[in-house]
Structures are given as structure tokens and as C-alpha cells.
Structure 1
Amino acid sequence: MFQRWWLQYQLKRLIKNNKLNALQDHYQYLLSQLDSPISDIKLLALDIEMTGLDSKKDQMVSIGVIPIINAKIQPKLAQYKLIKIQGTVGQSAVIHGVLDRHLDNALPLQEVLQWLFEQCQDKVIVAHYASLDLQFLQQSLVGAAKQSFALFAIDTLLIDKKRELRKHQSLNTSSLRLNACRERYNLPIYNAHNALTDALACAELLLAQLSKMGGIDKVTLQQLLNRH
């Protein structure tokens, strides 16, 4: 009960104080859906590839998103964006495969942010290790809008962490990586480390997790929503 009240309080404050229309609509959607089962909610699985893990000095190079509507992944609505950066991708290209030449026709960061939050207006973000992705988005919003914004997401890493801690007193960090979590649900492993591939992998993982939790029509948004 307290979690629901606290989420309501936070979202109402954000709606009142926020000046970005796309984000305001996003907060309104979250507030209106807190008690709804996940099966009734539009979701947006998201993954971001970066030049490093420090949101204050590293940069986003690509974003992949794929909607989940009526509890079904929508591959035809998947989208992928490359983002202009300052300098070079450096050694991070070994991880995500995005080279400097791939970014020649990439979009400016501000344009990508506007696009992303338009996608999120009537959807809830889903990500694996969501705190990292949202830290980068928050840092970028501070730079673009000169204002800090709270962001919310369903985090598939945290869902599995809670489930595994019921079985084990401690966990190895590697056991919570995306592929390690997928293996526990007998999901196939995708070798390509790409923002769109990882967004799809996250979407599939969430549906498998919800099935183990009693079904996508039994779990409500407020039970899963986390603020970052």
C-alpha cells in the first residue's frame, strides 16, 4: 500500500513540475495505470549502447526499442537509432560493434531524446539493468533541458535478483547478466551485442518472468515499477 501511495505522490509532483510535454504525458500514463495488470499496459523494451559506464563522461551511441502491446512483442514496430557523439567510440566498439564511420549520419542527441520520449508517452519502459540506461538518459536530459527529471522503468534484472535471493543468500554479479537470466528460463542466447537485439532479449525475458510470477494478467504495474 505504501509503495502505491509513494509512486502516486512522486508522479503527481512530476506532472505538476515538469515542462516537457512528452514527459508529462508519460508520467500521466504511469499514474493512470498503476493498478492495471501488465497485460493491459503498453510497454517499451529498451536498450542503450554506450562508450562506457560513467554517465557523466561517457556517451550513448545507439538506442533500440521494441513495443510490447497486449502482452505480445511487436517486432514490426521495433526501432533503432544511432546517436552523434563528441570524439570517438574508442575501445567500446569491441562491445557494441558501432564504429566511428557508422555514426557519420547519426542523429543529434537532442533529436533522439525527443523521439524516445514521444515513443514513451503512452508506454512503460522496460530494461535490463535499467538504472544504467536511465542514468544516461537523465544525464542527457540535464544537458539538453537544463533540468533534472526522474525516470521510471520495469527492471528485468531486479525481478530476477529478487527471485534468486529467495533461493541463495548471495549472488554473483555475472548471474544477473541478461544472458544468464535468460538461461534460467530456457530462452535462447543471442550472440550479437546490439541495442535492438538486447531490447528484444529483454522483452522476451520479461514475459518469461511474468509467467513464473503467476501470469501477465496477475501482476500490476505498481508491483514492478522502479524509480531511477
Structure 2
Amino acid sequence: MGILNRFSNLPEYWNTYARMFKNPLPKNFDELTFVVLDTETTGFDKIQDRILSIGALKLKNNQIHVDDIFDVYIEQKKFNEKSVAIHGILNNSKHNCTSEEFAIQKFLEYVGNNVIVAHHAGFDIGMINNALKRLGLPKLKNKCLDTGVLYKKTLIKSYLVQPQEHYSLDDLAEKYSISKKDRHTALGDAYITALAFVKILSKIKEKKVLSLKNLR
């Protein structure tokens, strides 16, 4: 009853998403579904900038489900020509664009209560949370993993070699010999991140039992 009251004034698509979290995640690690996410944006200011596109795919038991992807482009009300050199998305682009609210609605339906994985996840999650805030909605409820943080767990620390503070997605692609053909498209970067995540899990598994608790 409390949940119904709390979300009674919010749209049904949010209520449907929120109710999914009444169901616990599987305890068996191999049964977990990970939604690997990337966003392309007009810039790096989580407040002022906007999402141009969201790409995501699902991964379960080390298998990437390429037949179940999420790829959406959002109508641009804010345009930054300086960022076009990175993502290649032009104002009034030929992509089939949708409204921010419709894109967020569809993303919530896609992600469900699954675990989100992203590279430098704080930025992508922050951009989506600010889109939710503009729509008068609460923040994402999903557990999240950051491949940048997880990658550092696989490194051997010594007095001679100290890990960098940050590792880019390019760094991981080069480390694991992953093609960067579709780099800087949301779905392309999500695919690179998913491949890197599988490699990282393999490395971590050599040292400890894989569990969501250990990874977080």
C-alpha cells in the first residue's frame, strides 16, 4: 500500500518500473542479467547538457544478447557543435529521433530491475537521472557497476607500477584487443564495454568467487 501511495501521482510507466524492484535479484551470479549502457551527449555537464542517444544491450552468463538491444536517438533542443566531432550526431540528424520522455520511458521498460554496467558509470547514470528529474521522476533504482573501477581491481599493484587514476574505454579496448570500429556511438561503446566487462569478470574470477557483492 505504501508503494502505491508513494507513486500514485507518477506516470504508470514509472510505477511499473518501480514495482519490479519488489522482486529480488537472482543469488546465482550466472543468472543475473546485466544491462550494459552508454550515452552520447551534447557535452560533459550533467546539469546543462543533454542526452543525444542511449545505447544498451543485455549480457547474461557471459553471453551478449545482440538480438535484444536498445538504441534510441533523442530530439535535440540543445545543440553543441563542438561535440559533433566526437559523436558525429548532427542537429536535425537523419536518425529517427524521439522525445526525451519517450526515450526514458522505453529505457525503463528495457532495463527493468537488472544491474546496469557502464564505463565511468557516474556520468551516464547522472545524465539519465537528470533527464528523469526534468520529467518530475525519481532517480534510477538499479544497482550499478563501473568497468573503470572494476578494471583497476584486476591490476597488480607494486611499488614500481601504480595504477592510473582513470582508464578510458580506449585503454580497455587496447588492453583486451577489442575493435574500436563503432567507437563514439552509444550502442558501439556499449558493445565495447560489454566485451571488456566479460574480460574483467574472467580476471576477477581467478582471484575470488564472482558475486554482485564482491564486485560492488
Q: Output the TM-score relative to the length of structure 1.
A: 0.79
Which residue matches 1:81?
A: 72
TM-fit CA distance, 1:83: 0.6
Q: Cα distance 1:146–1:197, how it changes in 2: closer, same or farther (>3 A)?
A: closer
Identical amino acids, percent of aligned pairs = 25
TM-fit CA distance, 1:165: 7.0
Which residue matches 2:110?
A: 119
Which residue matches 1:56?
A: 47
User: Residues 102-125 of structure 1: CA distance to partner in whole angstroms, max 9, x if unpaired?
Assistant: 167411111111111111114211
CA distance in 2, matches of 1:17, 1:43: 30
CA distance in 1, matches of 2:63, 2:95: 35
CA distance in 1, matches of 2:60, 2:25: 17
1:98 to 56, 67, 89: 89
Residue aligned with 2:67, SS: helix
Where relative contact order (Cα < 8 A, 6+ residues apart) is larger, the structure is: 1
TM-fit CA distance, 1:193: 1.5
1:211 equivalent in alignment to 2:196 = no
Which residue matches 1:3?
A: none
Q: Cα distance 1:88–1:24, how it changes in 2: closer, same or farther (>3 A)?
A: same
Q: Which amino acid aligns with 2:15?
A: N
TM-fit CA distance, 1:43: 1.2
Aligned pair count reads 206
TM-fit CA distance, 1:182: 2.6
Which residue matches 2:144?
A: 153
Q: Cα distance 1:71–1:57, how it changes in 2: closer, same or farther (>3 A)?
A: same
TM-fit CA distance, 1:172: 5.2
TM-fit CA distance, 1:149: 5.0
RMSD, aligned CA = 2.7
Q: Can you give the 5+ residue segments of structure 2 that lack an aligned partner in the other structure?
A: 8-13
Q: Can you give the 5+ residue segments of structure 1 that lack an aligned partner in the other structure?
A: 1-14
